[in-house]
């Protein structure tokens, strides 16, 4: 489950009384119920100065759940054969470049498809600036271009920033239901 990647972090600091304006004297508590997503409620409690030193404790909740879900992974010249050609599941490969505006527009759509289809397809992205040999081998002349592979064989290509429905319809052709 994606929530396994979430963890609580507590920071404790010690300050002398004459430095107390530098450190707040309150502690925030965050409560995250497990039903209906995350809802944040905060309570503040005052800490007292009982000695020469005061304690400052800060808690925060760090969640890397997004990384736990199937996302689009990077493929390069060296990993192409292993990840794309030798893959038994259908493969979607997006050819892109960091300077390409339409590539940045279609990237969230590819991420959604990777999450939606989970382990039915493998989604990868190839930076054409870093791996020009693969782009040349498959005749990629404009980006973004999305290629579909099944059993190591190129089945279809879609050029340009297209809607999610177009990509979904193409994926459905090659996914074994």
Quickly list DSSP for 18-55.
Answer: GGGGGS-SEEEEEE--SSSS---EEEEEEPP--SS-EE
> What does the pLDDT look like over 105-160, one tens digit per residue?
999 999 999 999 988 999 999 999 999 999 999 999 999 999 999 999 999 999 99
Confidence of residue 60 (pLDDT cuts 50, 70, 90): low
Please state, in angstroms and rounded to a whole number, the distance separating the CA atoms of residues 103 and 160.
8
Residue 31: its pLDDT value, please? Answer: 43
* Active-site option among 6, 22, 63, 103: 103
Residue 58: its pLDDT value, please? Answer: 53
* Active-site option among 6, 22, 100, 123: 100
Residue 63 has pLDDT above 90, yes or no: no
Q: Is residue 12 packed enough to be buried (19+ CB in 10 Å), middle (13-18) or exposed (0-12)?
A: exposed
8 alpha carbon, distance to own chain's centre: 20
Helix (H, G, I), strand (E, B) or coil at 116: helix
Residue 7 has pLDDT above 50, yes or no: no
Residue 6: its pLDDT value, please? Answer: 46
Percent of the chain topping pLDDT 90: 55
Residue 57: its pLDDT value, please? Answer: 53
Please state, in angstroms and rounded to a whole number, the distance separating the CA atoms of residues 28 and 111.
34
Whether 103 sits among the annotated catalytic residues: the reply is: yes
Helix or strand run (H / E) with residue 101: helix 101-117
119 cis-preceded (ω within 30 degrees of 0): no
In this structure, of 39-43, 50-54, 145-149, the range with the lowest mean pLDDT score is 39-43
Please state, in angstroms and rounded to a whole number, the distance separating the CA atoms of residues 75 and 126.
5
Neighbour count for residue 92 (Cβ, 10 Å): 25
Whether 100 sits among the annotated catalytic residues: the reply is: yes
Residue 71: its pLDDT value, please? Answer: 79
Please state, in angstroms and rounded to a whole number, the distance separating the CA atoms of residues 163 and 112.
12
């Amino acid at each position: 489950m994606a929530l396994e990647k979430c963890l609580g972090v507590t920071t404790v600091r010690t300050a002398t009384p004459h430095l107390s304006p530098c450190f707040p004297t309150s502690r925030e508590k965050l409560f995250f119920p497990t039903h209906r997503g995350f809802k944040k409620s905060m309570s503040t409690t005052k800490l007292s100065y009982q000695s020469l030193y005061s304690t400052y404790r800060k808690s925060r909740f760090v969640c890397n759940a997004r990384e736990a879900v199937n996302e689009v992974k990077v493929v390069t010249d060296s990993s192409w054969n292993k990840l794309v050609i030798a893959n038994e599941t259908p493969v979607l490969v997006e050819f892109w470049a960091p300077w390409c505006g339409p590539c940045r527009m279609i990237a969230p759509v590819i991420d959604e498809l990777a999450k939606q289809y989970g382990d039915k397809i493998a989604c990868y992205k190839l930076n054409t600036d870093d791996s020009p040999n693969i782009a040349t081998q498959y005749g990629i002349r404009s980006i973004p271009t999305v290629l579909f592979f099944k059993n190591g064989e190129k089945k279809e290509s879609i050029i340009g920033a297209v809607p999610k429905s177009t990509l979904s319809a193409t994926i459905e052709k090659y996914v074994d239901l």
